[in-house]
Amino acid sequence: MVKYQILFLLFLLALIMIPQPASGEIFTESGLVDIPTGNVLKHGILGAGTYIAFPHSSETLRAIGENNAFGNAIAIRLNFGLFDRVGVGLKYLWNEHDAASFIDWTATLKVQLLKEQEVGTIPSVAIGVETLSDRLFSGNSEENENPAAFLAVSKTFNLPRIHQFSGHLGVGTQRFAFGESPIGLFVGLSREFQPAFARGDITMNLEFDGAGVNAGMRYITPSGLQVALGAETLNTPDELRYLAAVSWTNERLVDQINETRGLIKRATELAIEAKRAVSRGSK
């Protein structure tokens, strides 16, 4: 039943015409609202979903007018992890601009150089490339389609009262760049909560991605269904956009399977030890 509900939500959102798509990878399993982190998906873990983005008001959209380079769009994505060190993402985008439609596939690649341990000072460090198409967002097929490269560092801290939270820092090109500069800085904070009433995990994010300040909240159910809400460019009211995303990941399912295997293995070991103890007692 849960699987059918997930498929229905994904299908429903995929049919929505978005007045203005987001600029990067929105609410991915290994990222925040719009920035990458130093983390990658574990081997065999995947996430599939879609997202929508819409302006703060219809007046904002009319004010943009012909300068609106985004048009209407649909985005469906798939991300998966390989070898516990490599993350690969595929995204299908449909964009309508100036009465013309463009359909394109884009891909992202992330490689984790360092992995943070539960106890230690070494952070997670990853490098990656987002092959976002300038043509897709501008409607001009003659523009240069340079990918956005980045390096991201993530570290979890445990402070009094605040308890655990994660900090993220990175540098990147293209969409992360500042003005005329070829590169730019992006930063983010994330905090995870497990309230009893939610029956799942809630993650709060705050970040700066080179274009503005973004904030978001993600709710992850025990079944792996993820629902996220957010807002981009909070510091620029004229460009404010709201975000909504829904996706599903098999991470929780894989964790449950591994936990069950561990329990079975432990039960088998105890049964063997008990049998040996009975054999020694009978002698």
CA distance 224 to 56: 30
Question: How many residues appear in the chain?
Answer: 283
What phi and psi, each to the nearest 5 degrees, are found at residue 259? -65, -40
pLDDT reported for residue 283: 62
Please choose, from the candidates 20, 22, 24, 21, the residue with its C-alpha nearest in 3D space to the C-alpha of residue 149. 24
Q: 35 or 74, which is more confident? A: 35
- Partners of residue 207 on adjacent β-strands: 188, 214
pLDDT tens string 190-216: 998 887 777 888 999 999 988 889 999
Mean pLDDT of 173-183: 85
DSSP category for residue 31: B
Render pLDDT for 240-282 as a digit per residue (tens, 0 to 9).
888 888 999 998 888 888 889 999 999 888 888 888 887 777 6
Question: Which pLDDT does position 26 carry in this prediction?
Answer: 75
Confidence of residue 134 (pLDDT cuts 50, 70, 90): very low
Question: Of 102, 94, 104, whose CA–CA distance to 140 is shortest?
Answer: 102
Q: How confident is the model at residue 100 (pLDDT cuts 50, 70, 90)?
A: low
Residue 132: the pLDDT is 53
Q: Is pLDDT of 228 > 60?
A: yes
Is a pLDDT exceeding 90 seen at residue 5? no
- Architecture (CATH level 2) of domain 2-249: Beta Barrel (2.40)
Q: What's this model's pTM, rounded to 2 decimal places? A: 0.74
Task: Check whether 146 has a pLDDT greater than 50.
Answer: yes
Residue 95: its pLDDT value, please?
A: 61
How far is 23 from 186, CA to CA, in rounded Å? 14
Q: Where are the domains of the chain?
A: 2-249
What average pLDDT does the segment 47-62 reach?
69
What pLDDT, on the 0 to 100 scale, is given for residue 241? Answer: 80
What average pLDDT does this structure show over 75-96? 85
pLDDT (0 to 100) of residue 67? 40
CB 34 within 8 A of CB 207: yes
Average pLDDT of the chain to the nearest whole number: 77
Residue 40: both structure tokens together: 């990658």
pLDDT score for 145: 55
